[in-house]
Amino acid sequence: MHPVLFEIGSLTIYSYGFMIALGVIGAVTYMFFQGRKDVGLTFDQANTLFLLIFIAAFIGGKFFLLLENPSLYMNNLSKLFTGRGFVFYGSFLFAIPTMLWFFKKHKLNTYKMLDVMAVVTCIVHMFGRIGCFFAGCCYGKPTQGPLGVTFTHEACQAPLNTPLIPTQLLEAGFIFLVMISLLIIKSKYQKFYGQLFLLYLILYAIGRSVLEIFRGDVARGFIIDGYLSHSQFIALLVVIVTGFVYVRWSKKNRVIRNR
């Protein structure tokens, strides 16, 4: 693929960073307008919230990356901060308490804001996975099928000149479908506030567990070698905990629609 989008003199624009930037612009725009409509979120609050989430996500993503291979990164910490490599669940699990703290501090309706953040997360994550595709990371297993994609650029992290399952694009497409589903549910079928956020957690966890079967980057780590990856284990916990919370929240925060 094309890990380098273009170069202007000494300035290099990387595809991964560019796609993340597009995702951030789209996410902040949605968060501000929908947040203002639902809970009265101000522009300054939206910017501050996104900055805090970015910092928390960066720390969480790198921390979980360290846990995947402590010996590799402890011997050379510079590899941890090269900008290549994040663990999504690490970023997300660090971002959640940051969001909850911010909502409480600014007296924003937590359940309504969580629903907004479900779509925000989809936007950033979807563009991020497209960036992964251009960078050649988070790649799939070798395949001889029609969907196989061959990476040839020497800067790609994927094995070169080998047809691979494009798991990055499959995940981006799946996240897009989840996002569209959440927006449809919000417009017509939402039963309680916080439902979109919980549905996002459950749907993504299930989808990610399936996609992990086709991933070929074994460096992400396994709980049971070759059978249960770190992400699949976390996804299992997420589904169990979220299912319990879903039952509890469904009995309150009911959405009242104008008829």
Token code pair at residue 164: 């691979």
For residue 83, what pLDDT is reported?
47
E strand or H helix at 13: strand 11-14
Alpha helix stretches (DSSP H) within 136-194: 167-184
Check residues 74 and 164 and name the one with the higher pLDDT: 164
Query: What number of other Cβ atoms are within 10 A of residue 9's Cβ?
Result: 5
Coil, strand or helix: which one is 151? strand
pLDDT digits (tens, 9 = 90+) for 131-175: 888 888 888 999 998 889 998 887 777 888 899 999 999 999 999
pLDDT digits (tens, 9 = 90+) for 13-42: 778 888 888 999 999 999 999 999 999 999
CA nearest to 89, candidates 172, 209, 183: 209
pTM of the predicted model as reported, rounded to 2 decimal places: 0.85
| pLDDT at residue 81 tops 60 | no
For residue 125, what pLDDT is reported?
92
| pLDDT at residue 218 tops 90 | no
What's the chain's Rg over C-alpha atoms? 19
Across residues 114-124, what is the average pLDDT?
A: 96
